Amino acid sequence: MLEAQDIANSGWDYTNSNSYITLSMWVRSSVAQTFYWIAHSLDGTAKRYPFAVTLAANTWTKVEQSFPGNASLTFDDNNEEGLRLDCGLYWGTTFTTSSVPLDQWGTHTYSERTRDFDATWANTTNATFDMTGVQLEVGSKATPFEHESYGQTLAKCQRYYQETIFTNGQAGNSAGTNVYGNLHTIVSMRAMPTVALNGPLEVNSSGVNTTQSTMNIASYGTSSVNRFIIISNFSGLTSGKGACIRFNANQNLITLSAEL
């Protein structure tokens, strides 16, 4: 799933049929079969571009597939999903039909995403499928895979998901039943994340200890996606008193998700 703004600003003239983006990767299937994959645009009138990938058994194969622009394509300049690459290993006939044309853009419909699949791979016990070196780039030809450091790739992933902890002694400020604390993310996230706990929080304020298992967040400022105010609703606290907030077990985490 790719953000619309990345496609809109990539340099691909996506409404021009003479301008291309190219998908490349190495794949290996334990079962010989033709798979039908799809590029799917989501903004405006949804479009799909089905294409075939034919593999011999247990053989690494370089896949290169170019997609031309089309006058009907639309990509909004925002952080929502704009383009999806569906590299499925099996879809049932609820989603496919034998008459779907390959290698051209068409209107995406729920029941006609791509051509009917052979079920050989899906019906083979312990079948495997491997994929690596996935790259999508502007141009009609694939270029060598651009290797990144572990740190670069990790930072890109953290735009969508992070885990963190409250350590013993992190400061808060109680106001009635609320405790407020600042949380700085590792990198700026795609959007305001959904926050979840995998265990209860504990707070100590003026000698009062209490726990609770839910929390909310609010943005720090009007548009920041890397600083948040944690708001946890405890009971039995005195308004205006300082507080110490933490997890009451070492393995507990706060998860922040801004997935597409």
Q: What percent of the chain has pLDDT over 70?
A: 81
Second CATH level (architecture) for the domain 2-144: Sandwich (2.60)
- pLDDT of 170 > 50? The answer is no
- Per the prediction, the chain carries an average pLDDT of 86
* pLDDT, tens digit (0-9, with 9 covering 90-100), for 93-132: 999 999 999 999 999 998 999 999 999 999 999 999 999 9
**CB count, 10 Å around CB of 4?**
21
User: Does residue 217 carry a pLDDT above 90?
Assistant: no
Residue extents of the structural domains in the chain: 2-144, 161-257
Say what the pTM is. 0.84
What integer pLDDT is reported at residue 174 of this predicted model? 53
Coil, strand, or helix at residue 140? coil
Q: Per-residue confidence at 216, pLDDT binned at 50, 70, 90?
A: low
CA-closest candidate to residue 121, choices 185, 54, 193 = 54
User: Over 90: is that where the pLDDT of 74 sits?
Assistant: yes
Of residues 84 and 201, more confidence is placed in 84
Q: 240, 221, 245, 217: which is closest to 229 by C-alpha?
A: 217
3-state secondary structure of 7: helix
Alpha carbon distance 92, 36 (integer Å): 12
